[in-house]
Chains A and B, each alone.
Chain A
């Protein structure tokens, strides 16, 4: 028996009409989270959730119309919400309680959403499997011996398992799209600057972007209309008002879709089949599908890590145990900082800080960091040229479905390779959406497969429109995971 969980849109309508209440929706979400505790998707609850639900009920009773009235939402644990633990999956911030709300939290709350809790993640968003978390790994609801992807694996698993209809993650190199693909839900990475990052704990600032997970195109459009927009507190925020909507199948006629040639090698048979089926459906609906080449994409992973690691080493310098976070006492300040960082950070974080420090250090800067920023330009130019000929680009989101827990933890390069299809989008700052595109059966278990659509900068609205059209022709749909 599998019941399709309610969408955010349906829940908000029920609250608005009086058929349900924010308190009832909160209770139900908490009960589901308790039942699914073994997934380890949600790592802490919001003590203020009940008060928030009551406040929404009052506003609705007073006649306010709220787009997300009473909708329970979980946030990746690197997004600040006042009064909640914000650990970033790290021992360093094990007891850190946010004193303020991120802009996305203000916007969600104003729209009537109720923050239920915080979702597990790779430590400081550094990983592709949620296994580097100090809270332990999150399990994939489709197969508990496998990872949910990462780094926003908790947020993805929470939506895939139907605990909440919506969640937020952050995507620095694929951390929303890849877990969305591996758990069979939608995951959107907006254009760099469309969603404020005020209150998001920084990992690699020229790449980080907050994005949602959802189970329907309508919910995706609904939440993006709440999240997107200018924020004077984020200097990289763009002043582009949101106009997200769900498209219909007739909009596929004449749509020019470019398949990225460089992404067609090395995929598993199930990923290949899902992509082929989707392309056939697009052609059938009147889209023009052609192959395009982006020759510099093969350097995207190296370029990405050579930019992300230096930025991380710089951003994470703030964790010294002096004014907040954990502190290990020592004789003097330098000894205390060193001991604090040695105990507070996990292996992957240390690895990235050290390489980032190396790449920025005198004598190596030109060969590594500066070189990577130049290749980044070439990758962005490849996208620019491709979008001269097509409206959207498409590729697998990941070359393989969910891998086994522990499978890649011993080999950092194998883990980094899991990002091969996603990192270039962040380098270029583009919007991209992973859609659930089918399943690959591995050892008798169906594992979700995702396909990624990429739009030109500020073309985010095309992606929710497309998702609606793909749902309309029946080629994309979210199935409930039977966790």
Chain B
């Protein structure tokens, strides 16, 4: 697609600087992703460009606009606490990557002494 069409459709893309490596590493840690150095490199550039593109929203006057979290306004609806059918424990356990007896086995979660 030509740059002309891209600009028409989505507005100017500011040439934002790539995110620095430490920032990307921090984000990856928060998101539990262990990026390869190659992935880190690619993502630094991509993230910089995409975040630069988002900058256009800064110029929009939103002083009067309330946040719109979802398209329908919801009210809390309470229901009677009636027992119903749920998935059988063995059905749920069968989905687990590792099992032991009737339990789901997970890697060590606490430090050993």
Choice from A336, A375, A417 contacting B9 with Cβ under 8 Å? A417
Choice from B50, B53, B71, B97 contacting A324 with Cβ under 8 Å? B97
Task: Tell me whether B6 is interfacial, beta carbon within 8 Å.
Answer: yes
Given A339-B34, A341-B31, A358-B27, output 12 extra A-B contacts at Cβ < 8 Å. A238-B72, A266-B9, A322-B97, A324-B95, A330-B107, A332-B108, A333-B106, A336-B106, A347-B42, A361-B27, A373-B67, A374-B62
Contact A357 B31 (CB under 8 A): yes
**A322 to B46, alpha carbons, bound, how many Å?**
30
The SS class assigned to the A binding surface is helix
**A331 to B91, alpha carbons, bound, how many Å?**
28
Q: Which residues of B contact A430 (CB under 8 A)?
A: 71
Q: Which of A26-34, A118-126, A293-301, A474-482 contacts B (4 or more CB under 8 A)?
A: A293-301
Task: Tell me whether A225 is interfacial, beta carbon within 8 Å.
Answer: no
Contact B31 A302 (CB under 8 A): no
Instruction: With CB as the reference atom, state the residue of chain B lying closest to A364.
Output: B51
Contact A342 B11 (CB under 8 A): no
* Residues 11-65 of B contacting A (Cβ, < 8 Å): 11, 13, 24, 27-28, 30-35, 39, 42-43, 46-47, 49-51, 53-54, 56-58, 60, 62, 65
Given contacts A321-B97, A324-B95, whether A337 and B32 have CB atoms under 8 Å apart is yes
Q: List 8 A-B contacts (CB under 8 A).
A: A99-B87, A192-B72, A238-B72, A301-B9, A350-B43, A374-B66, A428-B71, A429-B72
**A326 to B97, alpha carbons, bound, how many Å?**
7
Closest beta carbon of chain B to A402's beta carbon, Å: 13
Closest beta carbon of chain A to B78's beta carbon, Å: 12
* Residues 8-47 of A contacting B (Cβ, < 8 Å): none
Choice from B49, B57, B71 contacting A306 with Cβ under 8 Å? B57
Task: Tell me whether A353 is interfacial, beta carbon within 8 Å.
Answer: yes
Closest beta carbon of chain B to A480's beta carbon, Å: 29
**A79 to B79, alpha carbons, bound, how many Å?**
26
Contact A375 B51 (CB under 8 A): no
Contact B107 A193 (CB under 8 A): no
Given contacts A306-B57, A326-B97, whether A420 and B10 have CB atoms under 8 Å apart is yes
Contact B98 A357 (CB under 8 A): no
Instruction: With CB as the reference atom, state the residue of chain A lying closest to B19.
Output: A358
Choice from B13, B31, B68 contacting A413 with Cβ under 8 Å? B13
Task: Categorize the interface residue count of chain B.
Answer: 35 or more
Contact B35 A361 (CB under 8 A): no
Q: Which residues of B contact A427 (CB under 8 A)?
A: 68, 71
Task: Tell me whether A380 is interfacial, beta carbon within 8 Å.
Answer: yes
Q: Which residues of B contact A377 (CB under 8 A)?
A: 62, 65-68
Contact B56 A420 (CB under 8 A): no
Contact A351 B95 (CB under 8 A): no
Given contacts A192-B72, A324-B96, whether A420 and B30 have CB atoms under 8 Å apart is no
Q: Which residues of B contact A265 (CB under 8 A)?
A: 8-9
Task: Categorize the interface residue count of chain A.
Answer: 35 or more
Q: Which residues of A contact B106 (CB under 8 A)?
A: 322, 333, 336
Contact B8 A266 (CB under 8 A): yes
Given contacts A232-B79, A333-B106, A339-B34, whether A327 and B98 have CB atoms under 8 Å apart is yes
Contact A296 B43 (CB under 8 A): no
Q: Which residues of B contact A351 (CB under 8 A)?
A: 43, 46-47, 50
Contact A378 B87 (CB under 8 A): no
Given contacts A342-B34, A374-B68, A377-B66, whether A412 and B9 have CB atoms under 8 Å apart is no
Task: Tell me whether A376 is interfacial, beta carbon within 8 Å.
Answer: yes
Given contacts A324-B96, A329-B107, A457-B71, whether A350 and B9 have CB atoms under 8 Å apart is no
**A335 to B53, alpha carbons, bound, how many Å?**
34
Contact B71 A412 (CB under 8 A): no
Closest beta carbon of chain B to A100's beta carbon, Å: 6
Task: Tell me whether A338 is interfacial, beta carbon within 8 Å.
Answer: yes
Most buried by A among B32, B46, B66, B72: B32
Contact A412 B50 (CB under 8 A): yes
**A337 to B29, alpha carbons, bound, how many Å?**
11
Q: Which residues of B contact A428 (CB under 8 A)?
A: 71
Given contacts A299-B11, A372-B57, whether A350 and B35 have CB atoms under 8 Å apart is yes
Contact A302 B10 (CB under 8 A): yes
Q: Which residues of A contact B108 (CB under 8 A)?
A: 331-333
Choice from B13, B32, B57, B95 contacting A303 with Cβ under 8 Å? B57
Given contacts A96-B95, A206-B70, A416-B10, whether A266 and B33 have CB atoms under 8 Å apart is no
Closest beta carbon of chain B to A283's beta carbon, Å: 26
Q: Which residues of B contact A77 (CB under 8 A)?
A: none
Instruction: With CB as the reference atom, state the residue of chain B lying closest to A298.
Output: B11
Residue interface bits A308-333, CB-to-B below 8 A is 1, else 0: 00000100010011111111011111
Given contacts A302-B11, A413-B10, whether A399 and B107 have CB atoms under 8 Å apart is no
Q: Which residues of A contact B95 (CB under 8 A)?
A: 96-97, 99, 323-324
Choice from B27, B69, B94, B107 contacting A335 with Cβ under 8 Å? B107
